[in-house]
Amino acid sequence: MKHNAKGHQRQQELYDTAARLFAEQGFHATSMRQLAQSLGLTKSSLYHYIASKDELLFQILDSYISDALVEIENLVADQSRPPDERLTQFIQFYARFYAGDRPRLVLLVNELDSLQPERRQVLVEKERRYMAVLTGLLSELKVTGRLKDMPEAVAAFAFFGMVHYTYKWFRPDGPASPSQLADHFLEIFTRGVMR
């Protein structure tokens, strides 16, 4: 038991360190040598824990995306609530989640294309499901006349753009919390910045 727990801890430290380095310097610009050094290991010892650099990036991203996806699809599937309420919940959850872990957000936005095609495809498919959730909600709002006359895709990408871009400037432990940021984004996206 102790052995397994330690093994898991070691693995988690590896993933966190890798995520941080890949995010700071870019996936291609970060060498396995450097990652090993940051962990106090040699390059060779690293390969005891991982199969390849590509697989490492995939594991980091997949666990990140998949956690939130399940929660979001459940949240939206609850048809007993009106669509604008579910939209509010989606926006707040999504903004809080993705603005809350900078290194992994950076990788999701910037380094998906660094993966080899087969692994990349798995994650692209999951991203597609995120998109489907939001455009689905917007479509529901359109039939009740609550959404303005614009393509749902444009609106959805505008929102994803706002949130995904936060890695450039937002600090989760800065003056504003991810929750407050989510509130601002909700307001901007649904009602705009002007009075």
- Residues found near DNA in the complex (CB under 7 A): 3, 6-7, 10, 30-34, 40-45, 47-48, 52-54
43 interacts with, out of a second copy, DNA, none, CB within 5 to 8 A per kind: DNA
Site for a second copy contains 88 (CB under 8 A) = no
Q: Give the shortest CB-53-to-DNA separation in angstroms.
A: 4
Between CA 186 and CA 132 the distance in angstroms is: 19
Nearer to DNA, 51 or 150 (CB): 51
Q: Give the shortest CB-169-to-a second copy separation in angstroms.
A: 5
Between CA 181 and CA 43 the distance in angstroms is: 40
CA-based nearest residue to 155, from 29, 63, 146: 146
Q: Give the shortest CB-79-to-DNA separation in angstroms.
A: 46
DSSP readout, 151-187? -HHHHHHHHHHHHHGGGGT--TTSSS-HHHHHHHHHH
Q: Give the shortest CB-21-to-a second copy separation in angstroms.
A: 13
34 interacts with, out of DNA, a second copy, none, CB within 5 to 8 A per kind: DNA
Instruction: Round the CA-based radius of gyration of the chain to a whole number and report it.
Output: 19
The mark string for 102-131 relative to a second copy (x by CB under 8 A, - otherwise) is --------x--xx-----------------
Q: For tokens 């929750």, what's the residue?
A: 179
For 26, residues 6+ apart whose C-beta sits below 8 A from its C-beta are 110, 111
